[in-house]
Amino acid sequence: MERRSSKAPSALLLGRPERVATLLVQAHLADRTAAPPNLIARLRDMEQVVCQARGDRQTLQVIASGRRLLGDAEDFATPEPAFEPDLPAPASETG
């Protein structure tokens, strides 16, 4: 007998930051009382967490788009570039 995962597939989809942001923004646009009253602040916080965790750029884009749709004018987070080890100069530059 197979054992089922403790998390349902719908719970896994809801847990992704870009999916959560999308659902909350859609709910707010459809009915302003359906979403939390501090939705923009929550999206800003979510964006900072994703940035600090060096999350996916697509996730940051979805969150930023949601903020724009809600009329947020505050600066958007910019992810830090991923760590790149020092690479030797190309042969053409070494002379």
pLDDT score, position 55: 86
Helix axes of 39-52 and 17-30: crossing angle, nearest 10 degrees: 170
Q: ∠ CA 90-94-95 to the nearest 5 degrees? A: 130
Those residues of the chain that have pLDDT short of 50 are 5-13
Q: How high is the pLDDT of residue 74?
A: 80
pTM: 0.64
3-state secondary structure 20-62: HHHHHHHHHHHCCCCCCCCHHHHHHHHHHHHHHCCCCHHHHHH
What is residue 94's predicted lDDT score, i.e. its pLDDT? 53
Nearest to 21 by CA among 9, 35, 32, 7: 35
| pLDDT on residue 73 | 81
Domain residues of the chain, as ranges? 14-74
pLDDT value of position 70? 92
